[in-house]
Structure 1
Amino acid sequence: MEFRLPDLGEGLADAELVSWQVQVGDTVELNQVIAEVETAKAQVALPSPFAGTVLELLAQAGDTVPVGAPLIRIGTAVEAPAERQAVLVGYGPDSEPVSRRARAAAAPAAGTRSGAPVGDSMGRPAATPGARKLAREIGVDLTTVAGSGPEGAVTLNDLHGARPDARAADVIPIHTAPPVTPVGSAASTARPIPAERETRTPIAGIRKRTAAAMVASAQHIPQASTFVTTDFTGSMELLDHLRATPTFAGLTLTPLALVAKATLVALSEFPDLNASWDEANQEIVTKHYVNLGIAVATERGLMVPNLKDAHSHSLRALSQEISDIAQLARGGGATPAELTGGTFTITNVGVFGVDTGVPLVNPGEAAILCLGSIRKRPWVHRDELAVRWVTTLGLSFDHRLIDGEQGSRFLASIAALLEDPLTLLGRV
């Protein structure tokens, strides 16, 4: 039987073959993982729809394979029905819908937290595809790592402690700039100098597809940007108060969640910012729902999972959902559906101690909001100089859809809501 690359959802036309988990001559069982592929922004394990013996591998690791193209030939004792389709993890007629929050809540309770994680059908320790790939690259034995994912699977987060230079990606803004090491100090000269004069890294996977999207953004979207620096002290005080209430007990309530809520309120007042340009039909498509994208830096590159129908979320729900999707993205568990279909994006450069930035608009969206670092700075408050929490917001937008007045009023509305966040309480 010939197994072809299935449709992975959301209109994706192809995927890159990351690795084979079987070789010619191997015996495979039904639904055994045989390969890992990477789509536009997600890494997916492919289960075998047949049981039998591997006769031929029809693609090589690194190949970009179109949907419907043959991947592997498997010899079976009994021919499977022609209409049988491969069922991916999380897809297919037998899968019950599982909410993002339920998956995240199940992860800490599942599996083994001490000792070796549960193995898969090939006898390997359970791990997400991203974690398995990283473990190979850094030479870590997965049997020595306790997994925190579903059924004890090792995730990218679990590997951070296993590599000396690893740092967990985060979407939580920091409030002070990172320490600067003086030039000429022992710490600044401790990094070894590579023996080779150059290092060449093949462009593949997430980075390759992100690069293509950004080129398309720069070439086809006429973009403009506007900025505002705002007093964030009221927001910081509100966050401190809410963290101490029973409603937010157990949640990591961050400034990003409050910025997201203010953005959603502003989008309800300025719906033109939640639209897209349909070149083929020469139409502007205004969305009456918001799939809010949150940019997350991961080991595999920048990913932008989105919160479906975020416009209906309370501040508490936003806080939980942002934490969940960031964890999924960093752990390699975000699905193609969660990584596509966004209508508006927030990117947080403040986590890197940066005051502001000029992000590129994601193709298919009208605008992107940039949150800078939140710092204590001198600020004129009630006609007196005071030390206040201050941040800078930046907005890049598609000038075909939005003019300067609309973009500026939208950004000013967000700033006003954050300066006086009590106006948000009725919508929390």
Structure 2
Amino acid sequence: MAQVLEFKLPDLGEGLTEAEIVRWLVEVGDVVAIDQPVVEVETAKAMVEVPCPYGGVVTARFGEEGTELPVGAPLLTVAVGALEGPVSSSSSGPDSESSGGSGNVLVGYGTGAPAARRRRIRPDRLDRAAAEAPVSRAPVADAPVVEAPAVNVLVAETSVSEGPVPVVSPLVRRLARQHDIDLRRLAGSGPEGLILRADVDRAIRTAEETAAATARAAQAPVQAPAAAVAAAPSGVAAVRDAERIPLRGVRGAVADKLSRSRTEIPDATCWVDADATELMAVRAAMNAATGPSAGPKVSVLALLARICTAALARFPELNSTVDTEAREIVRLSGVHLGFAAQTERGLVVPVVRDAHTRNAESIGAEIARLTELARTGKLSPAQLTGGTFTLNNYGVFGVDGSTPIINHPEAAMLGVGRIMPKPWVHQGELAVRQVVQLSLTFDHRVCDGGTAGGFLRYVADCVEQPAVLLRTL
């Protein structure tokens, strides 16, 4: 007899507490293999294919595409074990005889092997197997299919729960605190009444609309002409007609991180114009080289990244973070260099690990690899976290300068504008040179302006005279 096992949304790591279902990869009735990806979810950091640790027949799915689930919520159930009779398709599929799982909760954020061809059990036999088989569940996982209601309502005053508030996500708690929302008065739309971010968002909108209506009522004349009342636009209707874009997924994560950066970090920015003519000439010479010693093409970003690692070796104060609870500056030993990359899903910051041990060619190759993963949405959360310093090349957008917001919890970010011909005094004469503006935003807690200025001046000197780098290569 088959046994029905429940697979829950696993802990995706990196502090993630929830994920949104983007696309189901299996249907009810499909036969799945152990560790076969069954659903694609979007976390606050990346798109992830989640593999199921059980092999068998899918008997139920929990949550529609677009639903946001907390870690630990049911994803699907699988009937594990032999099913009597033939299947409805003659195609060969994965073996579902074993009742044991792989033991892997999440295999590399998705298996690299191609998914097996689908087999589907006839519905009558699937229903019989599900009815006869016992369901193996954790005590807290007995939940129905997750379907968010069309409208969430506030719980009446007399029905406020005195027990623990059913909230898993710290983001949901923080959002509720920021908007003075009493979580005990919310009816959660998640499993067993779990309160999701969508529930808090709806409560915030309801509170804002109520406050706006109350304010208008207080300011309106006691006896307004009927014609004037009929012609007056409805503020509530206007708000409802506006487009509302949920701040979740990558966009929500960026919003949270930038807000926290501006709230916690006393940042300051300094900038300088630099003559990049020699740097561009050196790059052209590198890429024009032929023969056995010629390697892959080197990008401007790779050269700037190598300059950053050399500068951080001289000014390690900027490769640090601040432990606010302990009131300590944590000086980091290695440089994990993040670089801003714009994708269809929004701005992401992949991280080049151990950049301080790499040369320009190695850094360039890793940047190219991570950029391609970012464009295809295949970066794992681990590849988007752990940075110690960020390089932001906003010059690709055709702008000269900016004041970057520090990528919390880092201590600094170097911004690079576009490199373009400008009049410049070179060797005492006016000439047209390739000029770039460099800006450094830094946490004033980790260093003073002298250190930040020294770092930026060294970077500018390397841009203007690339031979300066030879001392540290």
Structure 2 unmatched runs, 5+: 82-96, 119-240
1: CA distance, partners of 2:104 / 2:71: 13
Deviations 1:274-332 (A, max 9, x none): 00111233221111100000110011111100100000101111121111111111122
Deviations 1:323-372 (A, max 9, x none): 11111111222221111100000111110110011111111100111010
Q: Partner of 2:69 in structure 1?
A: 65
Give the residue type in structure 2 aligned to 1:68. Answer: G
Listed as ranges, the matches of 1:206-225 within 5 Å are 206-225=250-269
1: CA distance, partners of 2:293 / 2:243: 47
3-state SS of the aligned residue for 2:401?
coil
2: CA distance, partners of 1:231 / 1:365: 28
- The equivalent position to 1:342 in structure 2, one of 387, 390, 398, is 387
In the alignment, is the contact (CA less than 8 A) between 1:217 and 1:360 conserved in 2?
A: yes
Q: Which has the higher contact order (CA 8 A, sep 6+)?
A: 1
Deviation at residue 399 of structure 1 after TM alignment = 1.7
Larger radius of gyration: 2
Give the residue type in structure 1 aligned to 2:374. Answer: A
Listed as ranges, the matches of 1:361-400 within 5 Å are 361-400=406-445
2: CA distance, partners of 1:332 / 1:46: 14
In the alignment, is the contact (CA less than 8 A) between 1:45 and 1:89 conserved in 2?
A: no
Deviations 1:108-137 (A, max 9, x none): xxxxxxxxxx974256xxxxxxxxxxxxxx
Residue 16 (structure 1) aligned with residue 35 (structure 2): no
In the alignment, is the contact (CA less than 8 A) between 1:45 and 1:88 conserved in 2?
A: no
TM-score normalised over the length of structure 2: 0.65
- The equivalent position to 2:325 in structure 1, one of 257, 267, 280, is 280
Give the residue type in structure 2 aligned to 1:260. Answer: A
- The equivalent position to 1:270 in structure 2, one of 297, 315, 331, is 315
In the alignment, is the contact (CA less than 8 A) between 2:50 and 2:110 conserved in 1?
A: no
Alpha-carbon distance change, 248 to 259 in structure 1, aligned in 2, over 3 angstroms: farther
Structure 1 unmatched runs, 5+: 96-117, 124-196
Alpha-carbon distance change, 384 to 277 in structure 1, aligned in 2, over 3 angstroms: same
Give the residue type in structure 2 aligned to 1:121. Answer: A
1: CA distance, partners of 2:294 / 2:324: 47
Percent identity over the alignment is 42
2: CA distance, partners of 1:221 / 1:70: 39
Deviations 1:246-297 (A, max 9, x none): 4774523121111111111010010010001112332211111000001100
Deviation at residue 205 of structure 1 after TM alignment = 1.8
Deviations 1:8-57 (A, max 9, x none): 23343333322222233333232222101122321111112112222332
Residue 121 (structure 1) aligned with residue 116 (structure 2): yes
Q: Partner of 2:58 in structure 1?
A: 54
- The equivalent position to 2:272 in structure 1, one of 228, 236, 242, is 228
In the alignment, is the contact (CA less than 8 A) between 1:228 and 1:392 conserved in 2?
A: yes
3-state SS of the aligned residue for 2:27?
coil
In the alignment, is the contact (CA less than 8 A) between 2:44 and 2:252 conserved in 1?
A: no
1: CA distance, partners of 2:117 / 2:346: 29
Of residues 64-73 and 264-273 in structure 1, the stretch that sits farther from structure 2 once superposed is 64-73
Deviation at residue 426 of structure 1 after TM alignment = 4.9
In the alignment, is the contact (CA less than 8 A) between 2:44 and 2:248 conserved in 1?
A: no
In the alignment, is the contact (CA less than 8 A) between 1:248 and 1:316 conserved in 2?
A: no
Of residues 271-280 and 199-208 in structure 1, the stretch that sits farther from structure 2 once superposed is 199-208
In the alignment, is the contact (CA less than 8 A) between 1:15 and 1:65 conserved in 2?
A: yes
TM-score normalised over the length of structure 1: 0.72
Q: Partner of 1:289 in structure 2?
A: 334
Of residues 64-73 and 32-41 in structure 1, the stretch that sits farther from structure 2 once superposed is 64-73
Of residues 39-48 and 414-423 in structure 1, the stretch that sits farther from structure 2 once superposed is 39-48
2: CA distance, partners of 1:251 / 1:203: 40
Q: Partner of 1:25 in structure 2?
A: 29
Q: Aligned pairs, how many?
A: 331
2: CA distance, partners of 1:25 / 1:274: 53
Give the residue type in structure 1 aligned to 2:417. Answer: G
Give the residue type in structure 1 aligned to 2:55. Answer: A
